[in-house]
Amino acid sequence: MVKKQKKFVCQECGATFSKWYGRCPNCGAWNSLVEVETESTKGNKTSLRSLPLSKVEVNNVHRLTTGIKEVNRVLGGGLVPGSLILLAGEPGIGKSTLASQIGLNLAHKCTVYYLSGEENLPQIKLRLQRLTSSLPAKFYLIEGREIAGLENLVIKEKPSLVIVDSIQTVESGVLESQIGSISQIRQIAQQLMDLAKRYLVPIIIIGHITKEGRIAGPKLLEHMVDTVIYFEGDSNHQFRILRAVKNRFGTTNEVGLFTMEGSGLREVANPLTLFSSQLKVAVPGAATGVIMEGDRPILVEVQALVNPTVLNIPRRVAQGISTNKLIILSAIISRRLGLPLGNYDVFVNITGGLRIQEPAIDLAVSLAIVSAVKQKPLKPKSAFFGEVGLLGEVRPVPFINRRLKEAKRLGMERVGVTRPTLLRKLAKTELGY
Ligand SMILES: Nc1ncnc2c1ncn2[C@@H]1O[C@H](COP(=O)(O)OP(=O)(O)OP(=O)(O)O)[C@@H](O)[C@H]1O
Ligand SMILES: [Mg+2]
């Protein structure tokens, strides 16, 4: 007999408890327990089956290519049949656009379902028309927002891809709780997982991100799906990065680069066109750095401006790197290079709106600042990477060869730091003072 039970589920780790706690006894998260109704199946006699490995059949995985190289790369080569993919990102970043473009590409050859709880059918069609000049015949929009009804359609049409936009706005059709609630999201994810695995259809679920940058809904959602990809970027800038944070069918080191344009997302082959001012003349205060996004080296331009301060405490304003890093690098330059920045405001910006945490950017930032102080441009076609320490030393960083190769590919002639050296020495050779 099925009996309804109340349980408390931690949204962080998914542990369940029979009573409420202010702090999850399992993972220690505060205020993360939410009451849910569950069905107890105690008393049901189910039997399991054991199989020797030799009897387990493994079919060769035939990945479905999305027609977008950058997406295939992040997915590990394409969509795996029967996989559940969570595509997450901030509002307006382009999640629906990306999923639509994948669907449009595939729908020339096979059936694609698009179920949206966010927009009505004409709205979706308008977007699709903006993204393509010829609407493929096999792209189907699903009317209604109940996941429970999807199974019959899947059996009938056997689609090659199902897109659910978004998990927070569709209904399970089984539970009565509010749309977007934790229990609905868990239920929907479970239903979609069953559907994907049973009929071997890949399903892309779009998910929103909270203010803290986390996927809205239970943490459990990320555990349940096969692949979690984040679509990131700055809504004030054109570029977008697609990044896998979990992938049961590939590495999580690959990233895809796009720009958002009127006709949709466009793949980026040369990031330097995006992340540099592309000035033809050498200007003091600019340095090119080579950073890694996952396994991919990206060339970026660091810009620095140094100006006499009118304040008692000089300002350190950083965009694209942390202010703390700028404060530390300014102190190192003051002390170790004998260029006192105490009476100067220092502003640093990474062109194109990229946010960088990697220490490899230290050297380019430092040289950009020194170049700005000295009012002397760095030599053209130079790119730098290296971590700057408090002693004023520059240390090599990982993936030297990949960085060198990409820098050379994009026309850089003088590159990197491959051996430990001193920032003072390097600034002297590069800026000749
Ligand atoms: N006509 C247009 N020309 C250029 N860019 C556009 C146009 N229409 C929309 N965009 C871009 O597409 C973005 C919205 O894309 P999309 O709807 O795919 O985002 P989303 O992540 O699905 O948003 P939401 O969270 O609201 O569902 C806009 O922020 C804008 O940058
Ligand atoms: Mg959307």
DSSP per residue over 11-36, as a string?
TTT--EESS--SB-TTT--BT-EEEE
Does 49 fall in a domain? Answer: no
Does 53 fall in a domain? Answer: no
d(CA 316, CA 211): 26
Decide: residue 77, CB within 10 A, 0-12 exposed, 13-18 middle, 19+ buried. Answer: middle
Tell me which ligand sits closest to the C-alpha of residue 262: 1
More confident residue, 108 or 215: 108
Looking at the structure, tell me whether residues 233 and 288 fall in a common domain.
no
Q: What is the band of 289 on the pLDDT scale with cuts at 50, 70, 90?
A: very high
Check if the beta carbon of residue 147 is closer than 8 Å to that of residue 167: no
d(CA 253, CA 244): 7
Does 155 fall in a domain? Answer: yes
Does 46 fall in a domain? Answer: no
Long-range contacts of 133-137 (CB under 8 A, 24+ apart): 135/104, 136/104, 136/107, 136/108, 137/107
Looking at the structure, tell me whether residues 280 and 301 fall in a common domain.
yes
pTM above 0.85, yes or no: no
Mutate to test the pocket of ligand 1, among 93, 100, 101 (most ligand atoms within 8 A of CB): 93
List the structure tokens of 140. 């189907």
Whichever domain contains 123, its CATH number is 3.40.50.300
Does 424 fall in a domain? Answer: yes
Amino acid at 233: G
pLDDT over threshold 80, residue 251 = yes
pLDDT over threshold 70, residue 44 = no
Q: Which residue, of 214, 240, 269, is where some domain finishes?
A: 269
Name the one residue in this structure whose structure tokens are 């382009």.
Answer: 94
pLDDT over threshold 80, residue 3 = no
Looking at the structure, tell me whether residues 185 and 304 fall in a common domain.
no
Residue 232: in which H helix or E strand, if any? strand 227-233
> Of the candidates 147, 154, 175, 10, which has an alpha carbon nearest to the alpha carbon of residue 82?
154
Looking at the structure, tell me whether residues 280 and 264 fall in a common domain.
no
Count the domains in the chain: 3
Mutate to test the pocket of ligand 1, among 86, 95, 115, 209 (most ligand atoms within 8 A of CB): 95
d(CA 157, CA 345): 64
Question: Residue 424: which domain range?
Answer: 273-431
Looking at the structure, tell me whether residues 148 and 212 fall in a common domain.
yes
Q: Which atom, in ligand 1's list, is nearest to the CA of 93? A: 21
Say how many residues make up the chain. Answer: 433
Q: Which residue, of 222, 244, 269, is where some domain finishes?
A: 269
Q: Which atom, in ligand 1's list, is nearest to the CA of 130? A: 1
Check if the beta carbon of residue 163 is closer than 8 Å to that of residue 114: yes
Does 58 fall in a domain? Answer: no
Q: How far is the CA of 113 from the centre of ligand 2 (A)?
A: 15
User: Which residues sit opposite 87 in a β-bridge?
Assistant: 206, 229
Q: What is the band of 213 on the pLDDT scale with cuts at 50, 70, 90?
A: low
d(CA 349, CA 370): 14
The whole-number pLDDT of residue 124 equals 93
Looking at the structure, tell me whether residues 208 and 341 fall in a common domain.
no
Task: Number of helices (H) and strands (E) in the chain: give both, helices first.
Answer: 10, 21
Q: What share of the chain is helix, strand, coil (3-state, %, to 5)?
A: 25, 30, 45
Q: What is the pLDDT of residues 26-42, one digit of tens each?
A: 888 888 887 776 655 55
The whole-number pLDDT of residue 265 equals 94
Q: How many CB atoms lie within 10 A of CB 388?
A: 26
298 φ, ψ (degrees, to nearest 5): -130, 130
Does 45 fall in a domain? Answer: no
Check if the beta carbon of residue 231 is closer than 8 Å to that of residue 94: yes
d(CA 64, CA 307): 55
d(CA 404, CA 416): 7
Looking at the structure, tell me whether residues 365 and 393 fall in a common domain.
yes
d(CA 391, CA 17): 52
Region of residue 353 (left: phi > 0; alpha: psi -120 to 50; beta: else):
left
- The residue whose CA is least distant from atom 2 of ligand 1 is 262
From the centroid of its chain, how far is CA 340? 39
Mutate to test the pocket of ligand 1, among 87, 90, 97 (most ligand atoms within 8 A of CB): 97
Looking at the structure, tell me whether residues 422 and 291 fall in a common domain.
yes
Average pLDDT, the chain: 88
Tell me which ligand sits closest to the C-alpha of residue 266: 1
Check if the beta carbon of residue 167 is closer than 8 Å to that of residue 217: yes
The whole-number pLDDT of residue 378 equals 94
Q: How many CB atoms lie within 10 A of CB 178?
A: 10
E-assigned strand segments in 262-391 = 264-267, 286-293, 296-308, 316-319, 344-350, 382-384, 387-388
> Of the candidates 85, 59, 107, 218, which has an alpha carbon nearest to the alpha carbon of residue 164?
85
Residues of the chain above pLDDT 70, percent = 94
Looking at the structure, tell me whether residues 176 and 291 fall in a common domain.
no
Q: What is the pLDDT of residues 320-376, one digit of tens each?
A: 999 999 999 999 999 999 999 999 999 999 988 888 999 999 999 999 999 999 999
Looking at the structure, tell me whether residues 308 and 334 fall in a common domain.
yes
Looking at the structure, tell me whether residues 186 and 257 fall in a common domain.
yes
Q: What is the pLDDT of residues 124-160, one digit of tens each?
A: 999 999 999 999 999 999 988 889 888 889 988 889 9
Q: How far is the CA of 264 from the centre of ligand 2 (A)?
A: 13
Does 290 fall in a domain? Answer: yes
The whole-number pLDDT of residue 317 equals 97
Tell me which ligand sits closest to the C-alpha of residue 230: 1
- The residue whose CA is least distant from atom 1 of ligand 1 is 262
The whole-number pLDDT of residue 242 equals 92
Tell me how far CA of residue 372 lies from CA of 282, 287, 301, 413, in angstroms: 12, 10, 14, 22
Q: Which residue, of 240, 269, 298, is where some domain finishes?
A: 269
Check if the beta carbon of residue 373 is closer than 8 Å to that of residue 342: no
Whichever domain contains 402, its CATH number is 3.30.230.10
Looking at the structure, tell me whether residues 398 and 293 fall in a common domain.
yes
